[in-house]
Amino acid sequence: MLEFLDGDDEDFQQFQKHFHGNSKLRGFADVTTYVPPVGSSVQEQQESARKRSAYYILTGLGVGNLNLWRFVEPERYDQEPIWEHLQNFVAGGNTAMMAAFLPSSASPGVLAIAAVCRDKNLRVWPMEYTKTNSGDEGNDDSAEAEDTNFLGGVHTVNSHFNIQNTTDIVAIHGQYAYGISLMGEAYRICFPDSTNLNSSCERLPRQVFELEKLGGGGISKSRRSNVMLESLAASDDGKTIVVVSSEGIFYYSNKLPDIGSSDAAHLRIIGKNASENTLFKAPMKVYTPKIKSKDNKVKSEAMMTVVTNPSDEDSDEEGGYINVDPTETFAARWMVPSRGQDCWVCGVRNASHWVGPPESKVKEPSRAQLEAQQKEKMRSQRRQDRLAKRAKDAAAQRNNTSDPETPVAAKPKTTPRSSAKKAVKSQPNVQTSATTANVSAEKRPLADLTRRLSQNSGAGDDDDEDYTGSDDNTPSIASLLSELEHFKKRNAEIKTEWQRRLLGERQLRRKWKQREEEFLDQLNDSLTKLDAAEVEVDRLRVLLRDAEKRFAFEKARVEQENSVKSRYEQLCEQMNDKMALVADQKRLLEQTTRSLLKEVDRNVHALKNAVILEKTECVVCKDQQAVTAVVPCGHLCFCEQDAETYRRNCTAQYPTCPICQQEIVSLLRIYT
């Protein structure tokens, strides 16, 4: 038990701890402040006396019995508190999962207890207040009894009732009980005020929560949507609720309508757990603190206490911490519009999330970054200009050096990838230019020789006009003629070589063109296969997503079937035990029946003998057998001694039969 103590410093608070060892204190469930009923003299006595608080403590989770304790704080800090065990009662099952006090909001001092056992319906115990005196206290210590006299009484449990169809309740907060069905559907029921709790509340209306649908990208709502809920927490006033799914997605609402109203209870997504620790998923408590200012209590926004790092993931130490966040702040941090696309923060596809960082979180580039970007743009522009100029110069050079007789390669087939075609087309142009250059170089000496011969022949004609019949120019003409023949022969060889090379080049061009067509066909086939493969990949991705969804659904269904199967096996075991018990009881009943029948037979025989004996006994002495009959009625009613005695002692004038009162004429002795 912990208490807050105010120290000398207003900002400093410390805990005072009280310990008490008892096995009945195991399995803590809930605690509430002891408040006496309204109008009792105990309240005035407590207000006038010293201020000492008392609390009711409920324990027993994990077992089948609940224990009610009362804790009374000491009068002074150097004294010991009072731990008083008030009552032990059955929880309604083998294992109590949760239990809570239900204080009345209308009548202070009126309490009730609600508890849920495994595979059992919710059970409610209305508590009755009983005034006690010093001699009536159950505590043997007279000093402790005297210390608790100022409380005036105690609450006890005397009766209970069950609320139907509440075996899947997972949490009790305030006057509301929250449940998660096997199909993942969350709902809640509202308890009436503790002053009105009775057996007529066995069937209470429920309110089903509609979860925001996942995977659709829109704002459509669905109750199921293949979402398996794992934990739930809500405020005591029933206005705020936080639900966590098995995937770590938070569902939230702070404006829940009242149960029974026509408005639907929608829970929207506010975020996703980013921690790898699975224990982070469970929120501990959602509560609404009351802020007191100028003697006025004002409710603030709901707060959520979450276990954020219970095991300290990043270190080997056992230390951890809890995180307290306002739920409205938590929602505002995550709930921003995204128009149905994946959230950039948590990856959830939802219309209430961000598609990109908000303007407030986008960092503006600095001046140095802007200058670097501008320089990079200018550098890339200059590079593109140089490449374009080089391509233009190369095209002009190819046009200037091309030979008209050189056949031009046919234009290849158009393909989706034009860049590959250009790379292949550049090779024959290089070969053509090289061949043309070689032929021009070989033709150049022949042209020079022809020009020289023409000049010499002209000079020879002039000389013949002046010097006719002269033999001085004969060697020069012969040498020129021999040189001419040599160059003609050389020219023929060059022409033959050129024709041979041209023929080879044409053959190479035809082969290159054939290879180019084959390459383009292969390229087209590859591109077609690539496009088909991309389409197939997209189709397989869609199938994979569908398969993942089906797998998740099948997994959930198998888990549900396993839970149902385990429940069925438990019921079968219980049925077998009960059938064995019934068989034992049947065998015992048969044995008892046989013994009773024998006893009945004996009694029947005895009764028959007694009836026969009763019919023939003497009506006077009731001891001897009647052997004398009355004439004329014929009743056999006297023994042999009493017959004469009755006749002699009869006071009437005419004796009568003691049975039928008919006049006796005579008595007749009967022999058997």
Give the pLDDT confidence of 615-644 residue by residue, as tens digits: 678 888 888 888 888 888 888 888 888 888
Tokens 């966590």: give the residue: 244
Cα–Cα dist 142/162, whole Å: 39
| 591 or 303, higher pLDDT | 591
Pairing mode, if any, of strands 636-638 and 321-326?
unpaired
Question: Which among 258-262, 432-436, 457-461 has the top mean pLDDT?
Answer: 258-262
Burial of 647 (0-12, 13-18, 19+ CB in 10 A): middle
Cα–Cα dist 163/116, whole Å: 10
Check residue 280 and report its DSSP letter: G
Which pLDDT score, from 0 to 100, does residue 422 have? 41
Bridge partners (DSSP) of residue 306 are: 283, 323
Average of per-residue pLDDT across 249-267: 84
Ranking 135-139, 261-265, 564-568 by mean pLDDT, the lowest is 135-139
Pairing mode, if any, of strands 65-72 and 82-90?
antiparallel
Which pLDDT score, from 0 to 100, does residue 280 have? 47
Q: 14 and 7 in contact (C-beta within 8 Å)?
A: yes
pLDDT at 317 over 50: no
Q: 304 and 233 in contact (C-beta within 8 Å)?
A: yes
Cα–Cα dist 127/111, whole Å: 6
Ranking 222-231, 402-411, 441-450, 654-663 by mean pLDDT, the lowest is 402-411
pLDDT at 602 over 70: yes
Which residues contact residue 163 at a Cβ distance below 8 angstroms, ignoring those fewer than 6 apart? 121, 122, 123, 124, 189, 201, 202, 203, 204
Which pLDDT score, from 0 to 100, does residue 437 have? 43
Which pLDDT score, from 0 to 100, does residue 586 have? 92
pLDDT at 368 over 70: yes
Nearest to 456 by CA among 486, 490, 484, 487: 484
Average of per-residue pLDDT across 177-191: 86
Taking every pair of Cα atoms in the chain, the longest distance, rounded to a whole number of angstroms, is 232
**b/e 377-404 (16+ beta carbons within 10 angstroms → b):** eeeeeeeeeeeeeeeeeeeeeeeeeeee
255 sits in which H/E element:
none
Average of per-residue pLDDT across 270-277: 60
| 608 or 537, higher pLDDT | 537
Domain covering 2-334, topology: Methylamine Dehydrogenase; Chain H (2.130.10)
Position 78 confidence tier, pLDDT thresholds 50, 70, 90: confident
Average of per-residue pLDDT across 548-576: 92
Average of per-residue pLDDT across 247-259: 82
Ranking 188-197, 436-445, 494-503, 563-572 by mean pLDDT, the lowest is 436-445
Q: 170 and 179 in contact (C-beta within 8 Å)?
A: yes
Which pLDDT score, from 0 to 100, does residue 282 have? 53
Amino acid at 545: R
pLDDT at 287 over 80: no
Which pLDDT score, from 0 to 100, does residue 618 have? 84
Average of per-residue pLDDT across 333-337: 45
Position 435 confidence tier, pLDDT thresholds 50, 70, 90: very low
Report CA-CA distances (Å) from 660 to 150, 630, 656. 82, 10, 8
Q: How far apart are the first and last CA of the chain?
A: 97
Tens digits of residue pLDDT in 9-21: 444 445 677 888 8
pLDDT at 419 over 60: no
pLDDT at 512 over 80: yes
CA atoms within 13 A on the CB side of 176: 23
Average predicted confidence (pLDDT) for the chain: 74
Neighbours of 109 (CB within 10 A): 20
Domain spans, the chain: 2-334, 628-669
Ranking 155-164, 256-265, 439-448, 515-524 by mean pLDDT, the lowest is 439-448
632 cis-preceded (ω within 30 degrees of 0): yes
Tens digits of residue pLDDT in 33-43: 888 877 655 55
54 sits in which H/E element:
strand 54-59
Cα–Cα dist 129/142, whole Å: 22
**Can you read off the two tokens belonging to residue 435?**
């061949």
Cα–Cα dist 401/293, whole Å: 98
| 443 or 292, higher pLDDT | 292
